[in-house]
Amino acid sequence: MNSVTGGLSRRLYGPRGWAILALCGIAIFVVMPLLNLAVPAESPFHVSAYWVTLFGKIMCYAIVAVALDLVWGYAGILSLGHGLFFALGGYAFGMYLMRQIGSDGQYRQPMPDFMVFLDWKEFPWQWWNSDSFWWCAMLVIVVPGLLAFVFGYFAFRSRVKGVYLSIITQALTFAAMLLFFRNATGFGGNNGFTDFRRILDIPIATPQTRMALFAFTGATLIATLLLARWLTTSRFGRVLAAIRDAEQRVMFCGYDTVHYKLFVWTLSAVICGIAGALYVPQVGIINPGEMSPANSIEIAIWVAVGGRGTLIGPILGAGLVNGAKSFFTQAFPEYWLYALGLIFILVTLFLPQGVMGLLKKKQ
């Protein structure tokens, strides 16, 4: 038994890799909580709530980037609709958070504010059982997973691939965005969900809750990375890479490529949904803007900046691009689109392997 787990750990990362991972773990689970909660606010070493939220948000994005790298970097499927799965997870968990507000909303009614505003007397069917944490947690996984499964089944079975697939995933998220913008869809229309108060009956805005969410997001990120690494270094992962490089040869070798693609596609969507569910309580808002095609394309650029097919790279990429975004939107808001546009162009022209490719070249 010992040798098996030992073999597995050796397969995933070398000693240096594990050491770096352990360092990251210490930073997330020990250093950040200490600096945020234990160090007094006057101290120069204190990490403010702003930074905790920002890092938490970026870690959510990093989870999405790893999920997209699984399908794009390893199976060659570029999805321009991963923002949809992310938002669906966010909405599913957001329903629970909305119910947790209870009667503390602006209208002091047991229904969420937007329903009171629309003069709805009872919850629509989508909200059935939404006051249960476990039900909503299950929806976070099932809704994006099911949508991805159904969409993927039809798309991969008819051998839709390459740019065609990218474009119709974009159409999918665009259609969903239009749907969620409607008030009648029952998810708050334009404004979406916001103004959360509690999670699991604990006030959501306290430093302790924020840190707990942060740590949980960090744990999810590390778990996602390990899972993805395990998957891609397995036999399954090698078949995926073969599909990416020459799908027809794999088919003629007797593999049913649809199953492989469908599995990794659905898994990727589920991971995105979980990331969305972690994102909403930390950022405090979810609205249909998250489903806009532009958001989904940005996910692809995180992966491209970091380096496709490296898993670590997309995490770096999500951090770099979003760090730059936070910096620019504060310092020079009018130049951010130029910077982002340039990142898109320069990375595709000069850095096809991303930052990881640069690092590898150095070695």
What would the two tokens of residue 363 be?
């070695």
Q: Does 348 bind another protein (CB under 8 A)?
A: yes
**Per-residue contact flags (x/-) with another protein for residues 55 to 84, judged by CB under 8 A:** -----------------------x------
Q: Which of 42, 119, 201, 334 binds another protein (CB under 8 A)?
A: 334
Least distance in angstroms from the C-beta of 115 to another protein: 20
Size of the site for another protein (CB under 8 A): 44
How far, in Å, CA of 318 to CA of 310, rounded? 13
Q: Is 300 in the site for another protein (CB under 8 A)?
A: yes
The closest of 51, 48, 50, 24 to 37, measured between CA atoms, is 48
Which position among 19, 31, 345, 358 is part of the footprint of another protein (CB under 8 A)?
345
Please report whether residue 342 would count as binding another protein according to CB under 8 A.
Answer: yes
174 scored as a contact of another protein (CB under 8 A):
yes
Pick from 191, 193, 185: which is nearest to 281 by CA? Answer: 193
Q: Taking contact as CB under 8 A, which single stretch among the options 210-218, 229-237, 310-318, 333-341 is the one that binds another protein? A: 333-341
Among 69, 115, 126, 78, which Cα is nearest to 272's?
69
- If you ran DSSP here, which 8-state letter would residue 46 be given? P
Nearest distance from residue 185's CB to another protein, in Å?
9
Part of the chain binding another protein (CB under 8 A), chosen from 109-117, 137-145, 264-272, 299-307: 299-307
* R_g over Cα of the chain: 21
Interface with another protein (CB under 8 A), residue from 8, 22, 38, 175: 175
- All residues at 6 or more sequence positions from 60 whose CB lies less than 8 Å from its CB, including other chains: 217, 275, 276, 278, 279, 282
Q: Are strands 193-194 and 198-199 parallel, antiparallel or unpaired?
A: unpaired
CA distance linking residue 164 with residue 161, whole number of Å: 6
Give the separation between CA 198 and CA 176, rounded to whole angstroms.
Answer: 28
**Binding stretches for another protein (CB under 8 A):** 78, 151, 154-155, 157-160, 162-164, 166-168, 170-172, 174-175, 178-179, 181-182, 248, 293-294, 297, 300-301, 304, 334-335, 337-338, 340-345, 347-349, 352
